[in-house]
Chain A
Amino acid sequence: EAGVAQSPRYKIIEKRQSVAFWCNPISGHATLYWYQQILGQGPKLLIQFQNNGVVDDSQLPKDRFSAERLKGVDSTLKIQPAKLEDSAVYLCASSLRSGRETQYFGPGTRLLVL
């Protein structure tokens, strides 16, 4: 079974530029999560999708971050404009459904904002 795929793996941009990350969850997984992991800290949830609907985006900085999951499969996370403090690893995870299902994580996208 293929795991959670993410691209790109690394991205370097200048502040005020825009950037987008892509995630393809495990086939059949209804729930998709985006986490932000700042260096030296644990991951923090940004947004959770159930199929193509948002169920939790309370920690998403909506003035600059946006995310979508068209057709309930893959997802994109966008930052526009980026700030220095957005430098982090962006992790995508998926689970079969919500509830006590194990979340499976992708390798992450490491973003450096200069």
Chain B
Amino acid sequence: GDSVTQMEGPVTLSEEAFLTINCTYTATGYPSLFWYVQYPGEGLQLLLKATKADDKGSNKGFEATYRKETTSFHLEKGSVQVSDSAVYFCALSARPFQAAGNKLTFGGGTRVLVKP
């Protein structure tokens, strides 16, 4: 079945450090890939997405590139801030063009803590 594996946290780093969160997936066909973020006390928010191979999603300084050859969608940010402290979830939608079955399959989440 479809699955998403992401690095376990917590990841603790200092402000202005470089952040990478690894994400790999297993799915048939051509899934859409997403990163969602969950700030403390808030709901899930879409951070970025990519819908086909080699697409790069970007938002708020975060980037991720859809790599079909390595089935990966790693999240990166060049200089993190304290406000980036949150839990980050990688997810896929395996059959995006079908009325049924475009459910999101999530990884386990990675907690990131940025210290001043």
A33 within 8 A of B: yes
A87 within 8 A of B: no
Min C-beta distance of A102 to chain B, whole Å: 5
| Size category, B interface | 20 to 34
Cβ contacts under 8 Å, B103 to chain A: 33, 45, 48, 56
Contact B4 A99 (CB under 8 A): no
A63 to B66, CA, bound (A): 39
Q: A42-B109, A43-B44, A105-B43 are in contact. Are A50 and B104 (CB under 8 A)?
A: no
Contact B89 A42 (CB under 8 A): yes
Contact B43 A56 (CB under 8 A): no
Binary CB contact string for chain B from 65 to 108 against chain A (1 if under 8 A, 0 otherwise): 00000000000000000000000010101001111111111111
Contact B100 A50 (CB under 8 A): yes
A107 within 8 A of B: yes
Contact B4 A42 (CB under 8 A): yes
A108 within 8 A of B: yes
Contact A91 B102 (CB under 8 A): no
